[in-house]
Amino acid sequence: MARHSRVNRQTCTDRVVVTHCHVGLYDVVAHRPWIAQRRFGVAPQHVSHASLLADGAAADKDRFLCYWFYTPGVAQGAIHGQRLNGDQGHLIVRYDPYWNHLTGRLIVSTDTARLRHNAQQQYAWGKRLFETYAAHRPRFALSWHMVGPRPTDSTFNIQTVEPFTVPS
């Protein structure tokens, strides 16, 4: 079993917000998102994922899904050639088909059954994370994407929720 890291509560919080861009870690064991806070004048979207951990060790982040949250107008351009809609917010979740976050071990490329199960598990965590953000009722359309190391490992626009509007 992978060693369990603690998050650094000086650099992150478990309070999910949809008002500003940030990076985050999703704890796959506790099913809890952690997001970067603004510290020392550094915008939360420019913080490294490893800095959200108590010991700052990059290897320890492997028990967490890394993700990025962007509000409309910020995520301009393309990822793996896929253009993002600048009028929407985006939740971009890192997908690694060969890494098992629960065991902390690599999966060999020939073990197709484990790879398939691992993909289903990571997509389920991504969906749960997206639902957490959607529950905060952003006032803009929000889409989520799973982005892997190669374009063929990535899936874009998995789901979109429409903006929340206050009834008049």
**Domain residue limits at 96:** 12-161
**pLDDT tops 70 at residue 140:** yes
Q: Which of 153, 67, 64, 65 is nearest to 115 (CA)?
A: 153
Query: Is 33 part of a structural domain of the chain?
Result: yes
Query: Is 69 part of a structural domain of the chain?
Result: yes
User: What are the pLDDT digits (tens) for 144-154?
Assistant: 999 999 999 99
Query: Is 6 part of a structural domain of the chain?
Result: no
**Mean pLDDT taken over the chain:** 87
Domain count within the chain: 1
Query: Is 116 part of a structural domain of the chain?
Result: yes
Q: Quote the strand ranges of 2-154, DSSP E.
A: 12-13, 22-27, 32-36, 64-70, 78-79, 82-83, 89-94, 99-100, 105-106, 142-147
Question: In angstroms, rounded to a whole number, what is the distance separating the alpha carbons of residues 118 and 46?
Answer: 29
Question: In angstroms, rounded to a whole number, what is the distance separating the alpha carbons of residues 145 and 122?
Answer: 12
pLDDT of residue 40: 55
Query: Is 1 part of a structural domain of the chain?
Result: no
Query: Is 168 part of a structural domain of the chain?
Result: no
Query: Is 73 part of a structural domain of the chain?
Result: yes
Question: In angstroms, rounded to a whole number, what is the distance separating the alpha carbons of residues 34 and 123?
Answer: 18
**pLDDT tops 70 at residue 155:** yes
Query: Is 7 part of a structural domain of the chain?
Result: no
User: What are the pLDDT digits (tens) for 71-92?
Assistant: 998 877 788 989 889 899 999 9
